[in-house]
């Protein structure tokens, strides 16, 4: 990569940044970027990485650490940096979740822990049966309090209370159970390692000159304390981006004061972005109307110039029953598809339990030849590195003219088999020949598949070729316990389901598994960071927002997130009789009042 002067750097892909985004990218001190939906928060981080590498502000061997809340967000950011900087430079960009960051610290420096706090090397993660068995040793059968009891423990041990005794069981194993840790325990141990080992802390700070924190509003107290422990008072320059209006993880421990705390603790400058590049003007107007109830100022939010002032559609569907609701939404989706909108650009959202709200809609769409599926089981699985490799292999057995899959496979094999750049060209040709031969064998074996067990044998063949031990060695998330096996088993089950639906058409099954032809259905929490042309929110009812009285702020944020996923059209659906129960909207009536204000939503009352 050619090095250019600071003043000559321009954003890649001809993107025009608003002034505060450009200033935040070039800033040489800690910054907090506060930006609403569609403002390009992830894009800002990708452009900042490009700026730091292209201007040589992040010189070799320094690296950039990016921490996101979700796996798909971390992967998305990494891919954007690779597109802008190339893979060779982007190898100095480490993008991971908070859980992965903490686990990486623990796995690398486990031996720095005192024996009492040191888990076994082959510990497993988040096994509910082992967790339950440990608590039952002390006659505690109430799973609601497991997390609170684990979190109440302070390290190092000093009190000999029930929480500490359970920790010891989980750390070292008991009865026939092996060592098991929850992600919260992993974060606590990682924090303790950094707290008590100045050389490790200094090494971490020498490695990462820049740190990015994405979706910062959802950061928990434990995660924030780990970041502080690692980088407070260091020379690392931290850029945090987030939006208070999208804080929907309070139930999981999101720290409400994290923006203010970060500004105070890290002496960070705050920048606010005002552009919404995603949503049409009428949708932006509705988002703006919610600012006051979310304790935010209007902030001069602006829509993109690509829209006309009257663009954007908002609907409130009020149905008598689930069948009427499903028919209305199905007909609307059919019309959208007929206008050329891809099914993948239409999303159905629910506050919780999509299976309870959308099964009739899925059935009605299926009758019209439109495939819709609940993404919960697929969304994270597709992002798993081993699944990406397996899908590339399966795709190449169908058609070798898939250069992206070939690149993924070859680069993965080189990494898995530890083939370095110092080896001869003959070695690389040999690898490619081995891949060619294996693809042919897999294709021949798959051509004989008629049963689930035969398909499982194909997967075993693929994993054997990749080398199971190499997979565990290269990818830290698979290094301990049975997580890799769990991922492979979940994939095998879901992919066989797709094969059955397509009469074992491998190419179509791959496309269906990736969701290339289906309408995604998911919870609001799963939709964070995603965008669609058209969004249907199903279940604008008290039963879905059952805890509204206790957490009105978080549920208002959830409504806001659902609204802000849409580019051009959003529909909210209330069903008077769902699942044989009368539904009401007394508790969340403020949402109805807002939607029924003049010139906001079209009120649709199907027969």
Does residue 39 have a known ligand-binding role? yes
The stretches of 275-353 forming alpha helices (DSSP H) are: 281-289, 322-338
Question: What is the token pair recorded at 183?
Answer: 């992600």
Backbone φ and ψ for 475, nearest 5 degrees, come out as: -105, 110
Q: What are phi and psi of 381, to 5 degrees?
A: -60, -40
Whether residue 199 is preceded by a cis peptide bond, meaning omega within 30 degrees of 0, is no
d(CA 427, CA 412): 15
Long-range contacts for 394-399 (Cβ within 8 Å, ≥24 apart)?
394/442, 394/446, 394/462, 394/506, 394/510, 395/507, 395/510, 396/439, 397/439, 397/442, 397/443, 397/446, 397/506, 398/506, 398/507, 398/510, 399/507
* No. of helices (H) and no. of strands (E), the chain: 26, 19
Q: Does 36 belong to an annotated binding site?
A: yes
Rounded to whole angstroms, what are the CA distances from 156 to 105, 440, 548? 18, 55, 39
Instruction: Give me the phi and psi of 157, to 5 degrees please.
Output: -65, 140
Question: Sign of the C-alpha dihedral, residues 376, 377, 382, 383?
Answer: positive
Cβ-based neighbour number of residue 580 at 10 Å: 7
607 is in an annotated binding site: no
Distance of CA 364 to the CA centre of its chain: 30
User: Does 35 carry a binding-site annotation?
Assistant: yes
> Measuring CA to CA, which residue among 65, 74, 107, 103 is closest to residue 187?
103
Q: Beta strands 31-35 and 532-538: pairing type?
A: unpaired
CA–chain centroid gap for 420, Å, is 31
Please tell me the number of Cα atoms within 13 Å of 130 on its side-chain side.
23
Has 100 been labeled as part of a binding site? no
Query: Does 86 belong to an annotated binding site?
Result: no
Q: Which of 83, 22, 75 is nearest to 51 (CA)?
A: 22
Q: Is 40 annotated as a binding residue?
A: yes
CA distances from 237 to 18, 62, 65, 213 (A): 22, 12, 10, 11
- Is 37 annotated among the ligand-binding residues? yes
Q: Is 32 helix (H, G, I), strand (E, B) or coil?
A: strand
Burial (Cβ within 10 Å: 0-12, 13-18, ≥19) of residue 511:
middle
CA-to-CA dists, residue 118 to 2, 109, 157, 473, angstroms: 46, 10, 12, 20
Angle at 545 between CA 541 and CA 550, to 5 degrees: 140
Element (H, E) at 531: none
Q: What are the b/e assignments for 73-85, b being 16+ CB within 10 Å?
A: bbbbbbebbbebb
Helix (H) or strand (E) holding 603: strand 602-604
- Residues flagged as binding site: 35-42
- Residues flagged as binding site for ATP: 35-42
């Amino acid at each position: 990569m050619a090095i250019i002067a600071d003043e000559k750097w321009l954003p890649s892909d001809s993107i025009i940044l608003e002034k505060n985004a450009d200033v935040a990218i070039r800033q040489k001190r800690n910054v907090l970027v506060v930006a609403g939906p569609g403002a390009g928060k992830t894009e800002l981080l990708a452009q900042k990485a490009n700026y730091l590498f292209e201007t040589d502000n992040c010189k070799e061997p320094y690296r950039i650490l990016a921490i996101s809340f979700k796996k798909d967000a971390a992967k998305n950011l990494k891919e954007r940096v690779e597109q802008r900087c190339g893979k060779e430079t982007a190898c100095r960009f480490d993008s991971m979740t908070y859980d992965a960051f903490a686990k990486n610290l623990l796995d690398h420096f486990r031996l720095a822990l005192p024996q009492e706090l040191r888990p076994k090397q082959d510990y497993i993660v988040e096994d509910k049966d082992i967790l339950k068995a440990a608590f039952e040793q002390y006659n505690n059968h109430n799973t609601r309090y497991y997390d609170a009891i684990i979190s109440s423990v302070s390290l190092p041990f000093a009190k000999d209370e029930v929480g500490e005794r359970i920790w010891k069981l989980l750390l070292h194993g008991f009865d026939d159970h092996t060592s098991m840790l929850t992600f919260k325990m992993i974060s606590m141990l990682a924090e303790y390692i950094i707290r008590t080992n100045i050389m490790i802390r200094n090494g971490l700070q020498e490695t990462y000159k820049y740190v990015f924190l994405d979706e910062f509003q959802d950061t928990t107290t434990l995660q924030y304390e780990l970041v502080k422990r690692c980088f407070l008072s260091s020379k690392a320059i931290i850029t945090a981006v987030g939006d208070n209006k999208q804080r929907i993880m309070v139930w999981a421990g999101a720290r409400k004061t994290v923006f203010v705390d970060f500004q105070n603790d890290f002496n960070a400058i705050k920048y606010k972005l005002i552009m919404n590049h995603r949503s049409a003007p009428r949708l932006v107007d509705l988002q703006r109307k919610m600012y006051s109830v979310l304790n935010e100022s209007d902030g001069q939010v602006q829509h993109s110039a690509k829209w006309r002032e009257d663009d954007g559609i908002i609907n409130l569907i009020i149905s008598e029953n689930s069948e009427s609701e499903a028919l209305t939404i199905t007909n609307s989706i059919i019309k959208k598809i007929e206008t050329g909108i891809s099914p993948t650009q239409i999303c159905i959202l629910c506050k919780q339990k999509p299976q309870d709200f959308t099964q009739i809609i899925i059935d009605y769409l299926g009758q019209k030849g439109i495939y819709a599926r609940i993404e919960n089981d697929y969304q994270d699985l597709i992002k798993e590195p081993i699944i990406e490799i397996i899908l590339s292999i399966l795709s190449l057995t169908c058609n070798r003219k898939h250069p992206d899959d070939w690149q993924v496979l070859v680069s993965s094999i080189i990494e898995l088999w530890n083939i370095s750049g110092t080896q001869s060209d003959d070695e690389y040709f040999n690898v490619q020949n081995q891949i060619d031969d294996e693809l042919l064998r897999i294709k021949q074996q798959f051509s004989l598949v008629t049963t689930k067990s035969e398909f499982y044998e194909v997967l075993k063949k693929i994993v054997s070729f990749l080398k199971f031990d190499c997979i565990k060695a290269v990818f830290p998330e698979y290094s301990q316990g049975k997580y890799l096996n769990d991922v492979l088993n979940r994939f095998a089950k879901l992919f066989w389901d797709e094969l059955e639906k397509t009469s074992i058409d491998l190419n179509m099954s791959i496309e269906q598994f990736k969701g290339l032809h289906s309408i995604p259905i998911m919870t609001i929490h799963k939709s964070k960071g995603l965008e669609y042309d058209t969004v249907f929110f199903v279940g604008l009812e008290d039963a879905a927002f059952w805890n509204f009285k206790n957490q009105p702020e978080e549920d208002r944020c959830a409504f806001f997130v659902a609204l802000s996923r849409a580019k051009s059209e959003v529909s909210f659906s209330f069903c008077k009789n769902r699942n044989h129960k009368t539904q009401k909207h007394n508790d969340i009536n403020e949402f109805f009042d807002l939607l029924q204000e003049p010139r906001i939503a079209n009120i649709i009352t199907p027969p």
